[in-house]
Structure 1
Amino acid sequence: MPQTVEPVEVWTGASGAPERLVWRARRYRVDDMPTPLVGPADWWLPFAGDHAGPGRAPLEITGWRFQATSSDGETHMFDVGHDGSHWHVLRVFD
């Protein structure tokens, strides 16, 4: 399936990792260990042009990649992200 951005409901555990989701009116349970997707920390962007020292921009979790399965056995690999108020499916792999 091509890259997409569509709303999804995601429930997370105490660590912040996804455990369940509802996508296209279907319920899925995460059945593997989610992998964090990382990118430069938003708070660092104003300093991104300054090269005052060694290293690289600090990273933060920008989303998650995980496998999830519905109760009837339909399985997908999902990339999801959170925009501060809503979760979105970024990509689905069949």
Structure 2
Amino acid sequence: MADDIPARMVYAGHRWRVTDTPTRLRESIWSAPLESHHGLYGWRFQATSDAGDSLVFDVYRERDHWHVHHTYT
């Protein structure tokens, strides 16, 4: 995170750099029950690996870590 906005991450054993402007996602878009994820929020962003592969990620914060909910090619 940089200024509370996603900037980079490690996913599937690879480093990814955020390469667009992340969009904040609110509770209403998640399929997880809200009772188990109070205050759930996340981000959607495109990221590019060091190898040059790009994916769009939906990620959300769960307690003390981030979870990749879905990826799009």
| TM superposition score normalised by structure 2 | 0.80
Q: Check if 1:68 corresponds to 2:47.
A: yes
- Secondary structure of residue in 2 paired with 1:18: coil
Shift of residue 84 of structure 1?
Answer: 1.9
Shift of residue 64 of structure 1?
Answer: 0.2
Q: Is the 8 A contact 2:17 2:48 kept in 1?
A: yes
Q: Per-residue displacement from partner, 1:46-66 (whole Å, max 9, x unpaired)? A: xxxxxxxxxxxxxx6700000
**Which ranges of structure 1 fall in alignment gaps of 5 or more residues?**
1-11, 46-59
Aligned residues: percent identity?
42
Identify the residue that residue 13 of structure 2 maps to in structure 1: 25
Q: Is the 8 A contact 1:36 1:61 kept in 2?
A: no
Count of matched residue positions in the alignment of Structure 1 and Structure 2: 64
Identify the residue that residue 51 of structure 1 maps to in structure 2: none
Q: Which structure has the higher relative contact order (CA within 8 Å, separation 6+)?
A: 1
Stretches of 4+ aligned residues off by more than 4 angstroms: none
